[in-house]
Structure 1
Amino acid sequence: MFRLIQSSRARPAARSHLLLLCSQSLSGRPQAAARSASHARHASTDASSSSSDIRATLMAELKNAMKTKDTVKSITIRSVLSEVYAADKAASGTASPSAIVGILRKAASRRADSAAEFAKASRPDLAEKEQHEAAILQAFLPPLLPEADIDRVLREIVASPAISEAVAKGPPQKALGQVFKAFYAQVDKSSVDPDLVRQRAQALLASAK
């Protein structure tokens, strides 16, 4: 009998303890969600600012290359920075991060093209040098926008009333300029491969006719 009374008295205490645990668990969920959202915001900020400090990164890497006496790397970075300074002068101020990324992409592409030409000319030594310089520059570049994302933006533009009307009135390729204008109003030119954008735009316009 005594044990039964003890058991019945213990149950409210156990229920109270259980309710307390549930309350703590539920109160912790919003905090966890807030922490998760905060991490997501920080990740988004980091991704969006990846190209904003590219000038500082180039300068820092140039100093490191000079300290370690990496002649090829220091010469390669100096050559790009000279183009950046020319862009500063042309802009009557400071070239934008987007412009600097564009300069880097073109410089890396030129070296990759040169490497291919030297390889064709049976000059593996010069081809290797150009490939090495291209790799140095590519390491500074943010990733390009995936083809799927390019297609998504282009499809929305091609389906818009203005472009649909232009395609209906004449050859689809005549609307190409309008498509590019609308596309680059939404997408940073330095974040895409222009040749790929052209190819996909032409294909989508041809299929829209």
Structure 2
Amino acid sequence: MSLSDNIMADMKKAMKDHDKIKLNTVRMIKSALMNEKIKLGHDLNADEELTVLSREKKQREESIEEFINASRNDLAEETKKELTVVESYMPKQMSKDELAKIVKDTIKEVDAKGKSDFGKVMKALMPKVKGRADGKEASAVVRDNLN
């Protein structure tokens, strides 16, 4: 079942269940996917869909942080629920051990010697972990391994 089919099925279920947060979140995801499709001018492949989902996830994570800093816990809680819905469409996240192994392999692969090769390692690493690991976490692991 494709992501679009999953979203449509979940949207119908959320309507029947009167689950407003899930319904609104699924509609936002559907809209973001449609906007990306229009922007690119073709049907989205799995990588492009993952990019859109990652963007939606990151937006919600940043919003939660801002709401907490502004002492708006009510909005933070609602956004956390939205984040859970978005994450349900994303692939399973890597464990720290899996990420560390891929980072070490990538460092060997690009023959990185020190901190100056950080960009080269990240450029080779990110396509391998796209959607399955957070960029901040990945850069921290790379930085630790290059020191």
Residues 1:82 and 2:24 are matched in the alignment: no
Q: Normalising to structure 2: TM-score of the pair? A: 0.83
SS in 2 for 1:106: helix
Asked if residue 200 in structure 1 is aligned to residue 132 in structure 2, the reply is no
Give deviations 1:23-81, integer Å, cap 9, x for gaps. xxxxxxxxxxxxxxxxxxxxxxxxxxxxx732321121012112333222221111111
Contact 1:163 1:178 in 2 (8 A): no
How far apart are the structure 2 equivalents of 1:55 and 1:155? 36
Displacement of 1:188: 4.4
How much has 1:84 moved relative to structure 2? 0.7
Q: Specify the structure having the higher radius of gyration (Cα).
A: 1
Q: Which amino acid aligns with 1:163?
A: D
CA RMSD, Structure 1 to Structure 2 (Å): 2.2
1:116 corresponding residue in structure 2: 65
1:152 corresponding residue in structure 2: 101
Counterpart in the other structure of 1:163: 111
Q: Which residue of 2 aligns with 1:136?
A: 85
CA distance in 2, matches of 1:116, 1:94: 33
Rounded to whole Å, the distance in 2 between the matches of 1:96 and 1:182 is 21
Q: What amino acid is aligned across from residue 133 of structure 2 in structure 1?
A: V
Q: Distance in 2 between matches of 1:158 and 1:119?
A: 37
Deviation of 1:191 (Å): 1.7
SS of structure 1 residue aligned to 2:43? coil
- Runs of 4+ aligned structure 1 residues displaced above 6 Å come to none
Distance in 2, Cα, partners of 1:202 & 1:120: 28
User: Hey, what does 1:61 align to over in structure 2?
Assistant: 10
Write the distance in 1 (CA, Å) between the matches of 2:121 and 2:141.
Answer: 11
Q: 1:177 to 1:116 in 2, by over 3 A?
A: closer
Tell me the amino acid that sits aligned with residue 74 of structure 1. Answer: L
Aligned 1:24-39 pairs, distance under 5 A: none
| Identical counterparts, % of pairs | 22
Of the two structures, which has the highest relative contact order with CA contacts closer than 8 Å and spacing of 6 or more? 2
- Aligned-partner SS, 2:131: helix
